[in-house]
Amino acid sequence: MKKKYNGFYLMCSFPERETFIKAAVKGLEHFDFLEIGVPFSDPIADGPVIAEASHHVLSNGFTFNDLISCLKEIRNLAGNDKDIYLMTYSNIIFNRGADELNSLSRDYGIRGLIIPDIPFCEKDFFRKIDPPVKIPLVNFITPESSEESIKGISGNNSPFIYFISKRGITGGEFTLDEETRGKIKLAAELSSSPVVLGFGISDSSSAIEALKNSDGFIMGTVLAEILKNKGLDEYSKFIDQLFTDIDHFMA
């Protein structure tokens, strides 16, 4: 049985730098990994909450150097035991080049890249960039993935498999129909990597439902909403209660 692998998503420097860093460090007390969103002007997978957070950060003059500075401070404060992933889009990868990204992996232990607009079938093409990006890519499976596709993706090396639990964008309601449950089960049986559910997980109930059906979950939109509307103290209380509930379920 695979060890559960739970993660949380935060937009880098949202709602501002210091709160983001404190929120990241707090989350890493409980979660196994942090997915850091790199602000992008034209996101395709992000729902309105995350998209608004991205535009907010960019309007405040965010640069790639800000990302580096945040990574350095998070590692200094939280240590190196937990995994960090970067979530971004292919345009940023092609424009920044591989050298800068590879140095982030080397210096700050970036475990992988989560790039929604590079499907599995284009992964090899992406790897042919010269110089090559050496950071592993996280593979995606969706409710639309065929059985053949799931078999191919599950047999390919990936730090974890990001199973997008619903059709559409981040946020919204978390529901799993029987067909999707079957695809999650198939991926988990075939993959040596954790199969982790994301999109729509917003509370203890949906997190526990995800854990019943997969190897873990990713929570993001609700955390951005709490940080923006209620602040860091309420964010911390929410995470503490979330894992109290999860610990009771896992006991």
Residue type at 82 in one-letter notation: K
Contact present, 161 and 154 (Cβ < 8 Å)? yes
Contact present, 102 and 108 (Cβ < 8 Å)? no
Read off the tokens for 196.
């982790």
SS3 166: coil
The residue ranges of DSSP E strands in 25-141, in sequence order, are 33-37, 83-87, 110-114, 139-141
Domain boundary assignment for the chain = 7-137+201-250
The single residue of 46, 83, 209, 215 carrying the catalytic annotation is 46
Give the predicted TM-score (pTM) of the model. 0.93
Look at residue 37 in the predicted model and tell me its pLDDT: 95
Rounded (to 5) percent helix, strand, coil in the chain:
50, 15, 35
Q: Which of 103, 30, 91, 33 is nearest to 65 (CA)?
A: 103
Q: Which of 82, 100, 80 is nearest to 38 (CA)?
A: 100
CA dihedral of residues 235, 236, 239, 245 (deg, nearest 10): -120
pLDDT tens digits along 138-178: 999 999 999 999 999 998 889 999 999 866 545 456 778 89
Q: Which of 150, 205, 139 is nearest to 181 (CA)?
A: 150
Beta strand pairing status for 161-164 and 195-198? parallel
Compute CA distances 244 → 15, 189, 197, 215, 236, whole Å. Answer: 26, 29, 20, 18, 12
The single residue of 18, 29, 32, 35 carrying the catalytic annotation is 35
What's the DSSP call for residue 194?
-
Residue type at 243 in one-letter notation: F
Each residue's pLDDT, cut to its tens digit, for the chain (251 residues) gives 689 999 999 999 999 999 999 999 999 999 999 999 998 877 666 678 888 999 999 999 999 899 999 999 999 999 999 999 999 888 888 777 778 888 888 899 999 999 988 777 667 766 767 777 888 889 999 999 999 999 999 988 899 999 998 665 454 567 788 999 999 999 999 999 999 999 989 999 999 999 999 999 999 999 999 999 999 999 999 999 999 999 999 98
46 belongs to the catalytic site = yes
Four-way CATH pick for 7-137+201-250: 2.60.40.60, 3.20.20.60, 3.20.20.70, 3.40.50.2300: 3.20.20.70
Look at residue 94 in the predicted model and tell me its pLDDT: 78
CB burial of residue 35 (10 Å; 0-12, 13-18, 19+): buried
